[in-house]
């Protein structure tokens, strides 16, 4: 991946927030910028960021793979992350994930053929008491997701794209 001038200037702004000898602290921000621009963080992008920040590519890769908000592959327009950590498992987290698999016709980790939905599981979202819980596009938290609410969510997102 070649870093464009506009991307580089965005990186520069993040690096400027830290002391010169600690520019590696901007790695998460640089990864977020790439994901915002490309939709995911490719191995080439990790290498470009590593070169830019003077880090080993494996050190950048460790960050990408530690946080599951970074997409390591292209994803659908709507990324649905269902929490399946233990407290949620005890309160229908897996059931919600399974319902979405059936409703969308894909398995966990896959994307629908129309490119609209990617279904993933996630680690604890910090809202165990609201289980089943899920996150839409890394931003919108949805709580108490019964099968009816899951259906409403999928229908609403499809409608928003004119694909209902
Ligand atoms: S275990 Fe699911 S939100 Fe905490």
User: Following DSSP, what letter does each residue of 105-149 receive, concatenated?
Assistant: T--TT-B-TTS-EEEEEES--S-GGG-S-EEETTTEEE-S--HHH
Name every residue whose Cβ is closer than 8 Å to that of residue 137 and which is 6 or more positions away in sequence.
78, 79
**What's the pLDDT tens digit per position in 113-152?**
999 999 999 999 999 999 999 999 998 999 999 999 999 9
Q: How much distance in Å is there from the Cα of 57 to the middle of ligand 1? A: 31
Among 97, 161, 90, 86, CA closest to 134: 97
What CATH number does residue 30 fall under? 1.10.10
Domain count, the chain: 2
Which helix (H) or strand (E) segment is 96 a member of? helix 93-104
**What's the pLDDT tens digit per position in 71-95?**
999 999 999 999 999 999 999 999 9
- The predicted model scores a pTM of 0.85
Q: Does residue 38 share a domain with residue 85?
A: no
Q: Does residue 115 share a domain with residue 61?
A: no
Q: Which of 66, 99, 118 is the last residue of a domain?
A: 66
Closest ligand 1 atom to residue 93 Cα is 2
């Amino acid at each position: 991946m070649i870093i464009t001038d506009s991307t580089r200037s965005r990186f520069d702004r993040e690096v400027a927030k830290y002391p010169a000898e600690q520019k590696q602290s901007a790695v998460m921000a640089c990864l977020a910028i790439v994901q915002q621009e490309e939709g995911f963080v490719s191995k080439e992008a990790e290498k470009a960021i590593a070169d830019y920040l003077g880090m080993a590519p494996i050190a950048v890769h460790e960050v990408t793979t530690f946080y599951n908000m970074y997409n390591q592959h292209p994803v659908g327009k709507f990324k649905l992350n269902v929490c399946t950590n233990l407290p949620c498992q005890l309160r229908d987290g897996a059931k919600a994930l399974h319902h979405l698999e059936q409703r969308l016709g894909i398995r966990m980790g896959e994307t629908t053929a129309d490119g609209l939905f990617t279904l993933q599981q996630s680690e604890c979202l910090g809202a165990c008491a609201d289980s089943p819980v899920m996150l839409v596009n890394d931003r919108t938290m949805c709580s108490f997701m019964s099968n009816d609410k899951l259906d409403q969510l999928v229908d609403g997102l499809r409608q928003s794209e004119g694909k209902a």
